[in-house]
Amino acid sequence: MARAARWGRIDNYMAQANESLCLLVQVESKVALENLDAILEVEGIDGVFIGPADLSASLGYPDNAGHPEVQRIIESCIYRIRAAGKAAGFFGGRSGNGAEMSGVGREFCRGRGRYDALHRGAGQQVGDV
């Protein structure tokens, strides 16, 4: 909280913060998937983030987030999340289908992280030498 309040430089930060926060929860396991409808009923949740890699492993498809069954389940989740009036999103960096999922209602997508980008860039440069 200290960093968010700019170390005390933002007056009344705590009183204002809740009005501008977005609360997202993650669905990354078979158990969470089975409880998605109950999760969607929780007051105050603004959206649901689907983690395809962990979800696919939990469903029996490790290292295969692009498996057709996993993609079908993700698409179904997105429809259910949107029907509940929540924002739907997922990590699309490795599955390569972030743009495709926007067609079924995905509203936000997390891409690759900065460390992954640095690692890939450094690896490419080493390979070029």
Query: What residues make up the domain containing 119?
Result: 22-128
Look at the chain and report how many structural domains it folds into: 1
What CATH number should be reported for the domain holding residue 80? 3.20.20.60
Q: Is residue 2 part of a domain?
A: no
Q: Is residue 13 part of a domain?
A: no
Q: Is residue 3 part of a domain?
A: no
Q: Which pLDDT score is estimated for 64? A: 93
User: What digits encode the pLDDT tens for the residues 69-93?
Assistant: 999 999 999 999 999 999 998 776 5
Q: How buried is 71 (Cβ within 10 angstroms: 0-12 exposed, 13-18 middle, 19+ buried)?
A: middle
Phi, psi of 63 (to 5 degrees): 55, 30
CA angle 14, 113, 64 (to 5 degrees): 120
Written as tens digits, the pLDDT of the chain (129 aa) is 667 676 677 787 777 877 788 899 999 999 999 999 999 999 999 999 998 899 999 999 999 988 999 999 999 999 999 999 999 987 765 544 444 554 555 566 655 556 666 766 666 666 665
